[in-house]
């Protein structure tokens, strides 16, 4: 299952075109959740109604984004400092739409307020159908290690009956399996490990099913997937330049090119071009690294 990037409720109700574009989903992506965020009950409810029209499988409420311009204004993780309002938003959105509503949040605002155990029960009582927990506080932002102990505690709370999705530092197939085995979660959510490595999901699934990764991709297959990702972005945004800009960070971060000697100039050229044929020619000419480097 995939989630969209979070979509601003305020921008949605103001019909901001760039924001409406973020509601665009394709059937290939199903099941798909569209995630929205906001700080006022009415605005989020109205945005949820608009989102429902885009026909996702799930509407997800973001109560986890830590960045200043979101959390500082009382949206995202900012609502961890106003639980009554978070619960009211959740309750009202559940009432307003027919689709299943889920929530993504963090352990709490900071080290002194790791309230997730109680909060999970309260959110469940609002009628959500699953809860994703990122095992960090807002204060931690993305730093330090995700603490899965509390995620496990929520999952093992006998009063919790909705699926619990654990998130934070699930970077390898082995780690995904440990998270399932050790903490009993119903699903794991993968964030950063997928940037530049969209095949990480397939590797994790294979490992969970067979105990090993059956189909390790060749270098050329990895390159083909990265190129397809750029093409998909160009098609989705209906613009060559915008599609390239959108997918650049994935190319910049991909582990596929990490071990290539003297790569700096190629990397700069790859991240500078705004033309598809140039970009693909650069990628096509990247030489296959030594075998032992490839699968590190
Ligand atoms: C660039 C970036 C953008 C993100 N955007 C969102 C978002 O829109 N919605 C969301 O719920 N989480 C978002 N996250 C957080 C991730 O979903 C995830 O909770 C976090 O990175 C921890 O998981 P990970 O260790 O697997 O990356 C974002 C993270 C990064 C690095």
pLDDT tens digits, 204-251? 999 999 999 999 999 999 999 999 999 999 999 999 999 999 999 999
Measured CA distances, 260 to 217, 223, 224, 256, 269 (Å): 17, 13, 17, 9, 15
pLDDT tens digits, 70-97? 999 999 999 999 999 999 999 999 999 9
pLDDT tens digits, 141-194? 999 999 999 999 999 999 999 999 999 999 999 999 999 999 999 999 999 999
C-alpha 258 to ligand 1 mean position (Å): 22
Helix axes 219-237, 276-284, angle to 10 degrees: 170
C-alpha 191 to ligand 1 mean position (Å): 5
Task: Categorize the per-residue pLDDT at 294 as very low, low, confident or very high, splitting at 50, 70 and 90.
Answer: low
Q: Does 6 contact ligand 1 (Cβ within 6 A)?
A: yes
- Residue 290 has a pLDDT of 76
Q: Does 166 contact ligand 1 (Cβ within 6 A)?
A: no
Q: Does 190 contact ligand 1 (Cβ within 6 A)?
A: yes
Q: Which residues are catalytic?
A: 65
Helices (H), strands (E): how many in the chain?
A: 14, 8
Which residue's structure tokens are 């003297």? 262
- Residue 98 has a pLDDT of 98
- Residue 146 has a pLDDT of 97
Task: Categorize the per-residue pLDDT at 119 as very low, low, confident or very high, splitting at 50, 70 and 90.
Answer: very high
């Amino acid at each position: 299952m995939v989630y969209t990037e979070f979509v601003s409720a305020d921008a949605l109700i103001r019909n901001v075109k760039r924001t409406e574009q973020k509601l665009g989903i394709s059937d290939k992506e199903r099941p798909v959740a569209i995630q929205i965020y906001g700080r006022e009950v009415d605005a989020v409810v109205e945005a949820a109604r608009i989102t429902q029209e885009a026909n996702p499988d799930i509407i997800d409420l973001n109560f986890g984004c830590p960045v200043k311009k979101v959390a500082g204004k009382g949206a995202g993780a900012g609502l961890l400092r106003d639980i009554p309002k978070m619960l009211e938003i959740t309750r009202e959105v559940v009432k307003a739409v027919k689709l299943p509503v889920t929530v993504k949040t963090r352990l709490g605002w900071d080290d002194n307020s790791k309230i997730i155990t109680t909060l999970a029960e309260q959110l469940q009582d609002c009628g959500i159908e699953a809860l994703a927990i990122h095992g960090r506080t807002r204060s931690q932002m993305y730093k330090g290690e995700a603490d899965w102990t509390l995620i496990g505690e929520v999952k093992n709370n006998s009063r919790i009956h909705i699926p619990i999705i654990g998130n934070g530092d699930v970077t390898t197939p082995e780690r995904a399996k440990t998270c399932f085995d050790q903490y009993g979660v119903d699903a794991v959510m993968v964030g950063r490990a997928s940037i530049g490595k969209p095949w990480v999901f397939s590797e994790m699934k294979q490992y969970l099913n067979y105990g090993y990764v059956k189909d390790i991709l060749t270098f050329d297959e990895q390159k083909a997937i990265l190129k397809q990702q750029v093409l998909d972005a160009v098609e989705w945004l209906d613009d060559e330049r915008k599609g390239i800009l959108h997918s650049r960070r994935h190319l910049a971060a991909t582990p596929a090119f990490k071990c290539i000697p003297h790569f700096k100039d190629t990397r700069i050229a790859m991240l500078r071009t705004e033309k598809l044929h140039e970009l693909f020619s650069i990628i096509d000419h990247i030489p296959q690294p030594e075998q032992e480097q490839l699968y590190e």
